[in-house]
Each structure stands twice: as C-alpha cells, then as structure tokens.
Structure 1
Amino acid sequence: MSMEFTDYHTRLAAYVLLVDEVEGQECVLLAWWNGEGHSDPAWSLPGGGIEFDESIRDGLVREVFEETGYHVEPGGLLAEDFFTGQGRTFDGLFRSQRFVFEATITGGELGTTEVDGSTDHAAWVPLAELDAQSRVGIVDVALSARAQQEQQR
C-alpha cells in the first residue's frame, strides 16, 4: 500500500541504549513501561515521544531524565526503526519512527521523575537475565545494532 505522508499521522520517538558494569555484571538500563492500559507491561529502553517543538536530541534528554532520573549527553545514532498501525486516539493510520542513540550519563541518580506517566520505574537489568524478561521490540532492535557494531570493530 503506497501512501503519501499527508495520509497518516507520524510519531517520532528517541531512546538510549546504556550498558554498564553493575556489581560485576554487564547490565542495560531499562524503563518499566506500564502498558498505559492497552498493552501488557514490559521493559523498554529509556526514551519516548518527541514533543512538537523540540529536537530529537532534546526530546531524548528530557525523556531519559523523566524515566530514569539520569541526565545524559546523546552520542551517535545506533539504530533507527519504525512500525505502522491503527490509531487508538484518532481515526486512521500512523507511523512510529524510532531512533536509538548511544549516550553518556552526565549526572542525576536512578529514579523515575515523571508522575502518572507511562514509566513506573527504571533499573539496571543484567544482560544475562534479559531473555527471561518481558520487553518491547525496541530493546532487541538496540541490542542487535550494538552486537553488529561490536562485530565491525
């Protein structure tokens, strides 16, 4: 199906992949997405929807702070991905365009700062335990891109 950009809504979203050594284990920073009443809760990457009047990177910084309590400096683009679907709050189709960045934590402390949002908490989850965890697809997109990047080094 070929559609013009005026025929559908667009959602821009940006996320970070942060992997670090925590208590002797390689861990990934994840945010517990509560499903917002329409999906099963699951782990996601910190990040989310970009507001109309902000840049991708500014939105990323805001979202990561809201969901994790950390201030970050965005790095390079690690992956991009999209999916399409039927709108829940409007009639018609949408395209969700997602960007995953590398980043560096520059301050803050672990703790979700948003109130009544889509994230209940954040945690450093051991990569070795991730297969047993419920997670949304953007986590696998990011980890796959990271593995490809490491193979190219």
Structure 2
Amino acid sequence: MEFTDYHVRLAAYVLIVDEVDGQESVLLTWWNGEGHSDPEWSLPGGGVDFEESIRDGAVREVFEETGHHVELGDLLVDHYFTGRGRSFDGWFRSQRFVFDATITGGELGTTEVDGSTDFARWVPLAELEGQPRADIVDVALTARREREARR
C-alpha cells in the first residue's frame, strides 16, 4: 500500500518509572474509552498536533493528562500498528513514539477538560498484571526491560 492510500496518526508518550511509597511504580493515565472502547490504563501521551514536533507533542500531552511538566530523555521505542478507521473509510497507520522522561514540576492531576483521560495515578508495577491496559504500556515496559538487559 502506498503512503497516499492510508491515513497516519502520530502519537507520543512517556514512560516514567519511579519509587513511590516503597514500590517501583509507573505513571499511568486512565483512558475513558471515548464511548467506543472499554476504559483502560495507558501511558501519558497521545496524538501529536499538525504543527508541533513529536517531542513537543509528548510534553504537551503529559501535562494535559497528568499535570506534570517533564523533560524528555531518550527515545525508548517507536512502534506502529495498522487498522481500519472508525470515523473514515479506509486504513490507517498509528506511529507511536515512547520517550523516557523526568518530572520537573507540576502537580499530579489531569488538566484537560472533557478529554479522553479521566485521571492519572502511580500504579505499582507489581499490581499492573491483570489490569486493563493499552498495549502501548506493555510495548514500553518490554522495551525498558530489554534496554536494562543490554546494560
């Protein structure tokens, strides 16, 4: 399929893992499903606006969804999936970029109004198994484990 034959969605996310209350935890957002899917945990992040860079989109999305200002680190993983559009006829490719990040300020709490994120929370990694979550969470955590194994 040629690039002119499908839509593209660029998305940028961050993976932040830290020690919280004595447990290794990941900062996640509760995606509300937007009326077409079951709610689930996701990484802070989302769609990149037309006139912003991937990195700027990640920083903006993290603030909107978590209330935190972040400094991005390295690109952890880029990942894509394809599917059929819900709001248009035809195929799409969702290209997703996940960055390491460090919180530099702000306060935990979603700042977007009537958006797709209901709240953000630190979730202990030990409690994540069995929780409903978007595949991007597992993509990012797997990339993190693989990176640590190479070190």
Partner of residue 100, structure 1: 98
SS at match of 2:114: coil
**Offset at residue 144 of structure 1 (A):** 0.2
Identity of aligned residues (%): 77
Alignment match of 1:123 (pick from 121, 128, 134): 121
1:28 maps to 2:26: yes
1:77-92 correspondence to structure 2 within 5 Å: 77-92=75-90
Q: Distance in 2 between matches of 1:114 and 1:89?
A: 23
CA distance in 2, matches of 1:113, 1:97: 25
- The aligned residue for residue 14 of structure 2 is 16
Two-structure CA RMSD over aligned residues (Å) = 0.5
The one of 130, 133, 138 equivalent to 1:132 is 130
**Runs of 4+ in structure 1 over 6 Å off:** none
Can you give the 5+ residue segments of structure 2 that lack an aligned partner in the other structure?
none
Shift of 1:39: 0.6
Matched, 1:55 2:39: no
CA distances 1:22-63 after superposition (whole Å, capped 9, x unpaired) = 010000000000001111100000000000000000000000
Which whole-Å CA distance do the structure 2 matches of 1:39 and 1:132 have between them?
18
Could you tell me how far 1:80 is from its partner in structure 2? 1.0
Measure how far apart 1:77 and its partner are.
0.4
Cα deviation 1:77-117 (Å, max 9, x = unaligned): 00111111111111111000001000111100100000000
Partner of 1:74: 72
State the partner residue of 2:62.
64
Measured in 1, the distance between the counterparts of 2:49 and 2:2 equals: 22
Distance (whole Å) between structure 2 residues aligned to residue 8 and residue 132 of structure 1: 34
Matching residue's letter, 2:122 = W
**TM-score if structure 1 supplies the norm length?**
0.98
